[in-house]
Amino acid sequence: MTIDDTATQPDRAAQVEAFLKRTPFAATLGMQCEIRGDEMTAILPFQKKLIGNFTIQALHGGAISSFLELTAVAHVFLVSGLEHPPKPINVTVDYLRQGRAQDLYARATVNKLGRRMSSVRVEAWQDERSKPVAALHAHFLVTNGES
Amino acid sequence: MTLDPGNLDDRLQMMRDNMAMMTKAVPWAKELGFQVTRIEKGRVWGLQPYDEKLVGNPDTGVIHGGVITTLLDNLSGMSCATAMKDFRFVATLDLRIDYMRPADKGRDIIGEAECYHITRSVCFCRAWAYHESRDKVIATAAGAFAINKPRPTDRPESIA
């Protein structure tokens, strides 16, 4: 079974939270998430180590894109019936505004969840949702067995 | 003799002299622990050592894609500084990463970036991540970088 239309039961949310908890890189970033049914908001609390440019106190683009990619992984995992987190095929990040030295939030939209591939968009913002800091578009392999 | 960052050859020399500083001055690069290892005109190489805390899949022990993104983004940005005639700061407009194969557990990753075209306002780069050679890549990247206009505060020493 690859896709489960009845996914996002409460235990599914727990599975996603457990995945983030035992993923070392998610802990390195300090990423958190809030799941309500099939909706998830990812939170990246500000830490000094996430800075890329001291002079202008901006978050590092790599920290932002890492956070967005993990949000995409977690969201596809949440809404699919996958046994393991999906594998990324490619990722495109647009840097729209400078990420300031404060918390960053992100939400993902699944454009398509097919039998083998999934297309996902993620937007990250700080003070205003309508002024995104960065946008990510990614494709994932969503098969349970071998690629 | 003093080196002039406005002169490309001098700037390359200054960057080579300050290779260790280039990532130590960037908190997120320092957190991931990667280093710049080689600088040529239009090309920059780096090394990302394997570290348990960078694992993105606890079942396989493979380093997270975001680490490779950070490495290639950073090296690409630096490659712009080694290719532009005048010294300008650049900002990533967009970056696309294609994941070809997972990195091997426990192995360091080499990153290589090339700035292959420059217009008045944009630098175009491509980059590769691999263990041994570009014949067997882990990931490739393509990015566009916006060239910032010179600011009066851009003093020569800010290059380091």
Query: Does residue B40 sit in helix, strand or coil?
Result: strand
By mean pLDDT, which of A9-13, A116-120, A134-138 is the weakest?
Answer: A9-13
Query: Tokens standing for B21?
Result: 């500083």
Alpha-carbon distances, residue B49 vs A104, B71, B106 (angstroms): 27, 11, 9
Residue A1's pLDDT is what? Answer: 45
pLDDT digits (tens, 9 = 90+) for B31-81: 999 999 999 999 999 999 999 999 998 888 999 999 999 999 999 999 999
Q: Contacts for A115-120 with beta carbons within 8 Å, 24 or more apart?
A: A115/A2, A115/A3, A115/A142, A115/A143, A116/A2, A116/A141, A116/A142, A116/A143, A117/A89, A117/A141, A117/A142, A118/A76, A118/A80, A118/A86, A118/A142, A120/A72, A120/A75, A120/A76
CATH at A112: 3.10.129.10
What are the backbone angles phi and psi of residue B123, rounded to the nearest 5°? -110, 135
Q: Is A53 inside any structural domain? A: yes
- Top residue of A66, A117, A121 to mutate, by most chain B CBs within 10 Å, is A66
Subunit contact A66:B70, Cβ cutoff 8 A = yes
Chain B residue numbers with beta carbons less than 8 Å from the beta carbon of A87 are 99
Subunit contact A23:B57, Cβ cutoff 8 A = yes
Question: Minimal Cα–Cα distance from B31 to chain A, Å?
Answer: 6
Q: What average pLDDT does the structure give for chain A?
A: 91
Q: Which domain holds residue A77?
A: 10-141
Residue B160's pLDDT is what? Answer: 43
Confidence check: pLDDT of A124 > 60: yes
User: pLDDT-derived band of residue B149, with 50, 70 and 90 as boundaries?
Assistant: confident
Residue with tokens 């900002």: B91
Q: Is A5 inside any structural domain? A: no
Q: Is A98 inside any structural domain? A: yes
User: pLDDT-derived band of residue A10, with 50, 70 and 90 as boundaries?
Assistant: low
Domain B8-159 annotated CATH 3.40.640.10: no
Residue with tokens 């727990």: A14
Whole-structure pTM value? 0.91
How high is the ipTM of this complex? 0.88
Q: Is A126 inside any structural domain? A: yes
Subunit contact B70:A85, Cβ cutoff 8 A = no
Domain count across chain A: 1
